[in-house]
């Protein structure tokens, strides 16, 4: 590791190998112990020992927060695009993010006469009795035209479910892409290893666990016999 790079305070107590492990686990939180040890070219027990340390786990978390902070910009931007398309759930999240929406709602109930006084910015009005007020109210013509009702709002539960599904697909999109990329990389590595030792690949599709386990054992046995390294 380049020692000229200024390290954060939480990284200084660790060795170079531990810092590499922190960087790897923070950038790929779902990485298994076996895959982490393979990437770092160390024993799996070493990774397990690291993960039993509370200070190591805290450093991984701190580094993850630094990395994910940059990705948060893309998430907020996606939410804004969804909100402009009419996604109520996305709009709620965006408004809360910018502090424009509070969970508490203050309701002020106004009488019809109070609302009438606000029409046209009326500064002065004569207070009349209740019967006269009713007659005045009946004489006022309604000039505003309400927009057509959106039929989507007739089924609020269905709309909410669809919007939540869209949000989850956006929020999980990055993780899903990385997961698929890891699966493809593993399949490619196995194919290369099998070609080196002259083994046939497993048939396409999901295989039973015992069949795959036996195939891996045979692959490793041939690699060991031929002196081929992973």
- pLDDT tens readout for residues 102-140: 666 666 777 666 666 666 555 555 655 666 666 666 666
pLDDT at site 52: 92
Residues 103 and 167 in one domain: yes
Residues 156 and 197 in one domain: no
Residues 80 and 107 in one domain: yes
Residue 198 lies in a domain: yes
pLDDT at site 93: 80
pLDDT at site 187: 80
- pLDDT tens readout for residues 206-220: 778 888 888 888 888
State the DSSP string of the chain: --TTSPPPGGGTTS-HHHHHHHHHHHH-TT--HHHHHHHHTS-HHHHHHHHT-HHHHHHHHHHHHHHHHHHHHHHHHHHHHHHHTT-HHHHHHHHHHTT---S--------HHHHHHHTTT--------HHHHHHHHHHS-----PPPPPGGGG-HHHHHHHHHHHHHHHHTHHHHHHHHHHHHHHHHHHHHHHHHHTPPPPPSS---HHHHHHHHHHHHHHHHHHT---
pLDDT at site 143: 55
Residue 43 lies in a domain: no
pLDDT at site 22: 92
Q: Which positions of the chain have pLDDT values less than 70?
A: 1-5, 101-107, 111-147, 149, 170-181, 228-230
The DSSP call for residue 14 is S
Residues 83 and 107 in one domain: yes
Domain span at residue 202 reads 181-230
Residues 164 and 187 in one domain: no
Residues 99 and 159 in one domain: yes
pLDDT at site 208: 83
Residues 162 and 204 in one domain: no
Residues 158 and 91 in one domain: yes
pLDDT at site 103: 64
pLDDT at site 154: 72
The total domain count for the chain is 2
């Amino acid at each position: 590791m380049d020692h000229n790079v200024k390290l954060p305070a939480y990284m200084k107590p660790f060795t170079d190998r531990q810092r590499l492990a922190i960087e790897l686990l923070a950038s790929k939180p779902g990485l298994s112990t076996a895959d982490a040890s393979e990437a770092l070219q160390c024993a799996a027990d070493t990774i397990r020992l690291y993960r039993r340390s509370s200070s190591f786990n805290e450093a991984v978390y701190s580094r993850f927060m630094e990395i994910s902070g940059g990705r948060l910009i893309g998430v907020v931007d996606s939410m804004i695009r969804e909100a402009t398309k009419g996604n109520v759930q996305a709009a709620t999240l965006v408004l809360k993010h910018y502090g424009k929406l509070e969970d508490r709602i203050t309701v002020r109930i106004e009488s019809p006469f109070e609302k009438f006084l606000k029409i046209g910015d009326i500064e002065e009005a004569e207070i009349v009795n209740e019967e006269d007020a009713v007659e005045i109210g009946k004489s006022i013509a309604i000039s505003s035209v309400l927009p057509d009702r959106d039929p989507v709002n007739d089924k609020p539960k269905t709309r909410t479910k669809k919007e939540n599904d869209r949000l989850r697909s956006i929020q999980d999109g990055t993780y899903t892409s990385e997961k698929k990329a890891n699966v493809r990389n593993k399949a490619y590595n196995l194919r290369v290893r099998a070609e080196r030792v002259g083994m046939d690949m497993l048939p396409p599709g999901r295989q039973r666990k015992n069949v795959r386990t036996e195939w891996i054992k045979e692959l490793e046995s041939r690699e060991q016999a031929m002196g081929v390294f992973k």
